[in-house]
Structure 1
Amino acid sequence: MGTSRMFRIFVVLGSAFMILLIIFYWDDVGASHLYLNTPVSPGPKIPHPQPQQRTQTSRTPSFLSDIDAFVNQFLEPGTGEPTDAVPAETSNQSDKAEERYIPRREWKIHLTPVAAELRERQEQRRKLLQEMCANDSVVFPGKNRSFDDIPNKELDHLIVDDRHGIIYCYVPKVACSNWKRIMIILSESLLHDGVPQRDPLAISRDLVHNSSMHFTFNKFWKRYGKFARHLMKVKLKKYTKFIFVRDPFVRLISAYRNKFEMRNEDFYRRFAQVMLRRYANQPTPPASVDEAFTVGIHPSFSHFIQYLLDPQTEKEMPFNEHWRQVYRLCHPCQIQYDFVGHLETAEEDAEHLLRQLRVDNVVEFPTSHRNLTASSWETDWFSTVPIEARKELYKLYEPDFRLFGYDKPDSILNE
């Protein structure tokens, strides 16, 4: 009994000693250690070594962690002007994650505000969208349906970046490859040597267009189940939503050049062979694109327009995304976009947008002048298309012209 009692006394005294030691240590060292590691400015943070090797793609967050990130860490994007107070956190990204592996470039200091003309440009574009959506003279399928009535599959072009609170609706043939690269970098879904990729041009086209690299609205159902639509609406309300568009007829020319004047086996088999059989008097077109190009056979631009106007085309399947109307891809009357970029002003618009999102210190938009289609070429391209077909084509794409402020191409329609 005596030994047991002495042991209990020893345990109590030892515990008291450890408590006193912890208290003294905290008073002398703990508080200062805490403040030494608390950032006092939003400047660059020193990356710390990784305790474990990361896999090549970032782990998909769980349902609860994603909800927590959204509710607790969401930051309303600022205007990007020097008068804005810069918070310690400039994204949804956690401080620990940033300290581990994100070496930020030197923080940019904007000495001047965003040009008034750029702000006015955006205001006019957003206002035009609202007016056209409320204008009864602008009629197109699905215009007046609610967001809940849009099938999930039709929301597959809305890419979400929860880390920065951004939603991008991509439109093929409107610099979407480079904007997808930007979204991959911001979402940190691609790693290079264990750290997030930071160079847009280092991301290959195969990865850019790999659907697994992007979290879209169409994937919400698998992740969130019955909460999917509710979370879509919450994020549409809170996040910054942007879209880039271009002149609809020029976009069609660009799609034709890229998919039918270049060797593309998939588009040849799915579309070119159909056009050749129906409109080019080729009942048995070559079996492959290489064979077709060897003998100089491919559908003309006029055949392509015939295909778009043929009622049988949409009966068989919806328009391919490369020539589907923007109003069908991005639902501008159901989604109030915060930023509307035009390819014709891409350089100014991209800089303005990245600055508004406060990510211009993280990534720059890679400009490219490769294989551009100029608006001035429209007359030449449509010279082989009959006038009546041109007018029918305009009716097909008129909503895009009017929604996004592109002039009616009278020189093409009235020749």
Structure 2
Amino acid sequence: MVATMFSKVKHAIIRKQASQHIQLGLFVFGAMTILLLSYQSLLNDSLTQNKSQFNKRQLNPPKTSDVSNEDFLKQMKQRMEERRSQVQKNCQKLGLKHNKGNTRDDLVSSEQYKTIFCPIPKTGITHWKIVFTELIRDTHLDTNSEDFSIQFKRQHQIRGAKKYAYLSDPKWVKMIVVREPFERLVSAYRSKLETIPGSYSGKFAKKIQKEFGDPNEERESPTFSTFVNYLVETHPHSLTEDNVHWTKYTTLCQPCDLDYDLIGHQETVAEDSKYILQHIGAPNDLSLPAAYQNHTNQDMVYEYYSSVQPRHQVLKLYKLLIEDYIIFGYPPPPVLKRLFGDNYSIY
């Protein structure tokens, strides 16, 4: 009798505990679902706003030929303030404020013009380095040398106490130049991996092909599809520590920490460079080399991304880069609509 009652009480307790666990599980699941939906809504709202603002900028660029220089400077000052505000707002939305003590050693500086620059490869950066070399009158650097970029970094990179002193001084100007992220990856692939280059990049190309390429193909350099699969499958290492030519902006230049004063876009480089150089007080005869132009158009971007197999890896790659898109005001890459139509999802 007692044993029977004990058994009933025991089973009742077990059922109650099971019910409590189920309720707790449902609560946690519901809370996580709400957080996920809220985050997705945040990303969608930000990207929609970016698309509207980006289209407006493309349709109504600052006039450079039929207005005075004073009016041009006013228009460009507004553009830079809008970009800076956008970065600050979106960093806050995404919760991406970090510790400035973790700042990477990729910054270069000009003490004469009190300017700090975070050079991002594949954004036309070699031409900006040439401009900086002219600014600081560095006669030791040969801008035509094959290892010019390496020499430049060695001589003008700032580290340690000097770096943090410059960053905390309001008299110093911090600048960065970015580019549409998908387009930048195509440019990086074409120059560093598509054909076997020398030294470090050649080793990278062979490594990627060996680990992710088709073993039945007799080739040393990876296809673009292999490159994309490599980036997706080895994330986060591939986009944060692997190679500066495809490292994410949020990692390479930490825009949510450093509060850049001047934010250039490669897509508007003519106006941006003119304003930036005037803003820092560069000589009037100094400008970005006229020979510079973007050789990666949207048809070429589509050609490369349409080759990716399996196709869903393109969406995964976009998801990994979405913070760079949102923070710097870029709308979703046009190639996604061409590949997947209007109803694609990255979740």
Q: Same fold (TM over 0.5)?
A: yes
Structure 2 CA distance, aligned partners of 1:399 and 1:268?
A: 26
Q: Deviations over 1:224-281 (max 9, x none)?
A: xxx446514434x321111110000000000000012234122454222222222323
Report the equivalent of 2:92: 134
Q: Secondary structure at the match of 1:217?
A: coil
Q: 1:30-179, aligned counterparts within 5 Å?
A: 112-115=69-72, 116-135=74-93, 138=94, 143-148=96-101, 150=102, 154=104, 156-179=105-128
Q: Secondary structure at the match of 2:259?
A: coil
Structure 2 CA distance, aligned partners of 1:298 and 1:331?
A: 31
Report the equivalent of 1:407: 331
Unmatched segments (≥5 aa) in structure 2: 1-66, 342-347
Structure 2 CA distance, aligned partners of 1:212 and 1:342?
A: 22
Does residue 1:359 correspond to 2:312, yes or no? Answer: no
Report the equivalent of 2:48: none
Structure 1 CA distance, aligned partners of 2:139 and 2:239?
A: 37
1:309 is matched with which residue: 213, 232, 243?
232
1:278 is matched with which residue: 211, 221, 231?
211
Does residue 1:248 correspond to 2:197, yes or no? Answer: no
Distance 1:309 1:365, change over 3 A: same
Distance 1:368 1:311, change over 3 A: same
Instruction: State the one-letter code of the partner of 1:396.
Output: L
Distance 1:371 1:298, change over 3 A: farther
Unmatched segments (≥5 aa) in structure 1: 1-109, 192-196, 222-226, 286-291
- Deviation at residue 408 of structure 1 after TM alignment: 0.9
Structure 1 CA distance, aligned partners of 2:87 and 2:321?
A: 15
Report the equivalent of 1:397: 321
Distance 1:393 1:344, change over 3 A: same
1:215 is matched with which residue: 156, 164, 172?
156
Instruction: State the one-letter code of the partner of 2:258.
Output: I
Structure 2 CA distance, aligned partners of 1:273 and 1:244?
A: 30
Q: 1:301-380, aligned counterparts within 5 Å?
A: 301-311=224-234, 314=237, 318-361=241-284, 363-369=286-292, 372-380=295-303
Q: Residues 382 and 412 of structure 1 are in contact (CA less than 8 Å); yes or no, is this contact kept in structure 2?
A: no
Greater share of helix? 2
- Deviation at residue 319 of structure 1 after TM alignment: 2.1
Give RMSD over aligned pairs.
2.8
**What is the percent sequence identity of the aligned residues?**
27
Report the equivalent of 1:384: 307
**Structure 1 segments of 4 or more deviating over 6 A?**
none
Which protein is bigger by CA-based radius of gyration? Answer: 1
Instruction: State the one-letter code of the partner of 2:138.
Output: S
Structure 1 CA distance, aligned partners of 2:239 and 2:135?
A: 38
